[in-house]
Amino acid sequence: MTTRPLTIALAGNPNSGKTTTFNNITGTHQKVGNWPGVTVEKKEGRVTWNGYTLKVVDLPGTYSLTAFSMEEIIARDFILDTKPDVVVDIIDASNLERSLYLATQLRELDTRVLFVLNMADVMRARGLHIDTQKLSELLDVSVVFTVGNKNQGTESLLRTIVELAESGKVAPAERRVKYNSDFERAIETLGSCIAKHAGNRLPYNLRWVSIKLLEGDPVVQEKVRRRLGEDADEVLQEALRIRGRLADFYDEEPEIVMTDERYGFIAGIIKEVLKSSTEKRVDFSRNIDLVLTNRFLGFPIFVFFIWAMFQLTFSLGAYPMAWLEAGVEAVSRLASALLPAGMVRELLVDGVLGGVGSVLVFLPNILILFLCIALFEDTGYLARAAFLMDKIMHLVGLHGKSFIPLLMGFGCNVPAVMATRTLESEKDRILTILINPFMSCSARLPVYVLLAGTFFARNAGDVIFSIYLLGIVLAVLTGRLFRSTVLRGETAPFVMELPPYRAPMVRGLLIHMWERSKLFLKKMGGIILVGSVVIWGLSAFPRQSDTVMRLDEKLRVHRTDLEKMIAHGAQADRIAIMRDTVRSLERAQASERVRGSYLGRIGRWISPVFEPLGMDWKASVALLAGFVAKEIVVSTLGVLYATEDESADAKEALSKALRDSGMTRLSAYSMMAFVLLYVPCLATVAAIRREANSWRWAAFSVAYSTALAWIVAFVIFQVGSRISGLV
Amino acid sequence: MEHEKTKLLSEISEGQRAVIVHVGGNGAFRRRLFEMGFLKGTEVHVDKYAPLKDPIELILKGYHVSLRVEEAARITVKPLPKEERL
């Protein structure tokens, strides 16, 4: 018995039940991250079984092992470079023919392969029977039956894995795909050429390398070049020559002919192992689809599901959100009471608790939202939603699956950006992430409500709607622009499998939800923490200025007066007047503090930039502070205009102050447009950086959206001023 | 066989079946289709069109897959009479 952990890789088609099998084997001992350098998710788990330690790696789901997509390259490189002890190929037993395509490619690599025929129950229900004995013999592999979503067969799977790993059995060279004689000869010729030049410098199966070079695989060409250096040229030239000859002869690219040959080989196996009974069978999945993708019912049902998801996420989520808010507030109050007044208290209460608390409250929304998305994904409905929406999304240069993340953006961009993981193509994913912030999230609504309510009283609703519309239009234009510039290239072909509907597994849903939330808390927490402390620092320093000190002095005098008056039982109305004076002094001091702070200074310094947009320095400061979270724009304006923020008519007072400040309808509209478009909040930037896996995209998003915000607000204000000047 | 008229897959109506004659289009796309089983001689059933008439849901080799109309227009097929079963 070995003590060294066995490395087990899970391969398989998308929708083959790979993740379910992974969950069954590892339980909750999982680590979710990314494959280095890409946005593809990597799942790893550790499990002990009968004294053996298994390190299980869930490879990305693929249909093949070519260099067609990032996922395929990752899966292949892992098998080639890490050389796992066993590669488990999860096969959808009810979809044997297509699944065997990947399986035959796995068999071409020098690795121990084990077939898992999953969804054995569906297979039987469909009246199919697979002769495993025969299959095992024909391809010389061990075969295990499982029913992943009922957790059946996991034990025997583990046993077979360990047996195979311990057997030390070398993958036999026979029982692999045999191509036609022209190709076999070509493979042999190229193989010996490689052997001659490479010696033992290529740690891969030579037959496989030959096949890949004949297919013109760019990744394998690169591997050969790296390993052989100078000698690579001759090998690659020879490969090119043979490839050209085959292409001429067949009047077809060799890789296409080989694909054909593999399927031919598979057809032979299918004929021997698959028996289909003739009894009439009901296809539940198709019956469900008759309704869910029905010409007339499809869209109403889709809209209902989306509506339900929104309601659950934001209406039901509002309750726990309120509890969390109350909790954060209680902790803040407790901290305020326990700590002596001063910098440490402010840092903890305003900086840390204020900043982290404002993000933490989104946790219930995120939990519910990801539960819904996991439900859509695991049942197979997500593919149908993409099927319904693809036509519309394609106009923007996006994939049907982009719709859900974009829609979620209206709630909160953070989970929306995280939801782009359901997209397979990296370009689609990044484009969807980049235009997501233009979907006006709910945090921006308070700003619109304040400004539109103040300046457009009667038409506030229409004005706010026009802002939402502006966001959508700009998202469409941006999508088209990026598609033809930075993210050029065709939309990924819509060759999308519509898997049969399946009942989701509760455990799978919970694991999915928990993993997402953990990521959210961990990563967001860190960046938000730093960001909020920085913004707090900028608004809290420098501590003192002459004006603030003068006000301090005045305040002290008035407070003492007030106490004296209370102590001496002065008339109630006089006490009230004095109390008001103290309050307004306090507000003036707070306002003065922000004005004199670094944030205020920066705001005043950059206010010339905002002038052409019709905004003064106070608006500039508010917009700067809004980087942490857009709701903060409102509270910062409140502080700057020194209005009361605790009384019931706080909004009214702020409205009045704004009207008196010289702001016009036009500048208010320009500010709303700016708030809609400029830098997504800190949490969103953090999510973008995480999901796009690069600071460059996050920085690009910040720069682009801010530039766009400025241009749009500029056009609105300047053109608007000209027009109203003319009238 | 050869004298029968071929059509594009995008021209086949809902509920009809056809046999693939040729897959056109650029390299990567074409290769992807081949790997998903769109091979010459494979029978395809046009299950349904999306409510907006694009994409199309197809059944081949016992599984359901969707293709955009423009993508289906790159595949040449020979329609099968409705009753015939391969």
Domain segments of chain A as ranges:
6-167, 181-276
Residues A485-538 pLDDT 10s: 888 876 667 788 999 898 888 988 988 888 777 877 775 667 677 777 887 888
CB contact under 8 A, B63 and A98: yes
Is B35 close to A63, i.e. CB distance below 8 A?
yes
Q: What is the DSSP string of A659-680?
A: HHTT--HHHHHHHHHHHHHS--
Please check the confidence at residue B45 and state whether its pLDDT lies above 90.
yes
Q: Looking at the partner chain, which of B29, B40, B55 has a beta carbon nearest the beta carbon of A390?
A: B55
B22 CB near a chain A CB, below 8 Å?
Answer: no
| pLDDT value, residue A172 | 64
pLDDT in tens, A356-366: 776 677 788 77
Q: Is the pLDDT of residue A547 over 80?
A: no
Torsion angles phi and psi, residue A568, rounded to 5: -90, 5
Q: Which among B36, B54, B65 has the least Cβ separation from residue A391?
A: B54
Per-residue pLDDT band for B86 (boundaries 50, 70, 90) equals very low
pLDDT at B62: 85
> pLDDT tens digit string along A596-608?
888 888 888 988 9
* DSSP symbol at A46: E
Is B71 in Cβ contact with A494 (below 8 Å)? yes
pLDDT at position B85 is 47
Task: Please report, for residues A253, A343, A453, A592, A618, the alpha-carbon distance to residue A351 in angstroms, rounded to integers and kept in the order given.
Answer: 62, 10, 30, 19, 21
Least confident of A48-62, A373-387, A558-572, B4-18: A558-572
Q: Which of A263, A285, A493 sits opposite B37 (nearest CB)?
A: A263
Residue B57 C-alpha, separation from nearest chain A C-alpha, in angstroms: 8
- Of the partner residues A255, A263, A298, the one whose CB lies closest to the CB of residue B51: A298
End-to-end CA distance of chain A: 90
What is the ipTM for the molecules in this complex?
A: 0.92
CATH architecture, domain defined by A181-276:
Orthogonal Bundle (1.10)
**Is residue B86 one of the residues assigned to a domain?**
no
- Closest Cα in chain A, distance from residue B64 (Å): 5
How far apart CA A294 and CA A300 sit, in angstroms, is: 10
Chain B nearest C-alpha distance from A19 (Å): 20
**pLDDT given at position A490:** 63
More confident residue, A563 or A243: A243
pLDDT band at A44 (very low <50, low <70, confident <90, very high): very high
Q: CA nearest A255 in B: which residue?
A: B31
Residue in B with minimal Cα distance to A102:
B35
Q: Is residue B70 part of a domain?
A: yes
CB contact under 8 A, B50 and A390: yes
Report the residue from B30, B31, B50 with minimal CB separation from A391.
B50
Of A564 and A609, the one with more pLDDT: A609
Contact residues on chain B for A390, CB-CB shorter than 8 A? 50, 54-55, 66, 68
Among A63-77, A160-174, A713-727, the range scoring the smallest mean pLDDT is: A160-174
The residue in chain B having the minimum alpha-carbon distance to the alpha carbon of residue A101 is B35
What pLDDT, on a 0 to 100 scale, did the predictor assign at position A281?
56
Which tokens is A98 given?
A: 């297509």
Whether A115 has a pLDDT exceeding 90, the answer reads yes
With beta carbons under 8 A apart, name residues in chain B contacting A498.
57, 64-66
**Domain assignment present for B85:** no
Which residues 26-85 in chain B show a CB within 8 A of chain A?
27-37, 39-40, 47-55, 57, 61-68, 71
Average pLDDT over residues A51-56: 93
Range of the domain at B61: 7-80
Tokens of B27: 């390299």
A566-584 average pLDDT score: 81
Domain total of chain B:
1
According to CATH, what is the number of the domain A6-167? 3.40.50.300
Contact with chain A for residue B4, Cβ under 8 A: no
| Number of A–B residue contacts, CB under 8 Å | 106
pLDDT band at B39; cut points 50, 70, 90: very high
For A470-499, what is the mean pLDDT?
85
The proportion of chain B whose per-residue pLDDT surpasses 70, expressed as a percent, equals: 90
Tens of pLDDT, residue by residue over A430-447, are 999 999 999 988 788 888
- Report pLDDT for A328: 85
- Tell me the CB-side half-sphere exposure of residue A294, using CA atoms within 13 A: 9
pTM, two decimals, is 0.82
pLDDT at A631 over 80: no
Mean pLDDT of chain A: 86
In Å, how far is B3's CA from the nearest CA of chain A?
A: 23
| Predicted pLDDT of residue A173 | 62
Partners of A499 on chain B (C-beta within 8 Å) are: 64
Tell which of A100, A270, A401, A494 to mutate to test the B interface (max B CBs under 10 Å): A494
CA dihedral A342, A344, A348, A352 (to 10 degrees): 120
Residue A686's pLDDT band (cuts 50, 70, 90): confident
Q: How far apart (Å, rounded) are the C-alpha atoms in residues B10 and B66?
A: 12
Least confident of A66-70, A642-646, B48-52: A642-646
Q: Compare A110 and A297 and report the one with higher pLDDT.
A: A297
Domain with B16 in it: what CATH number? 2.30.30.90
Q: Highest mean pLDDT: which of A251-255, A325-329, A415-419? A: A251-255
Q: Which of A238-252, A300-314, A334-348, A354-368 has the largest mean confidence?
A: A238-252
Which carries the bigger pLDDT value, residue A523 or residue A288? A288
Inter-chain CB proximity B68 and A392 less than 8 Å = no
At residue A279 the predicted structure's pLDDT band, cuts being 50, 70 and 90, is: low
Helices (H), A65-144: 70-77, 96-107, 120-125, 132-139
Cβ-defined contact of B33 to A496 (cutoff 8 Å): no
Distance from the Cα of B12 to chain A's closest Cα (Å) equals 17
DSSP A456: S
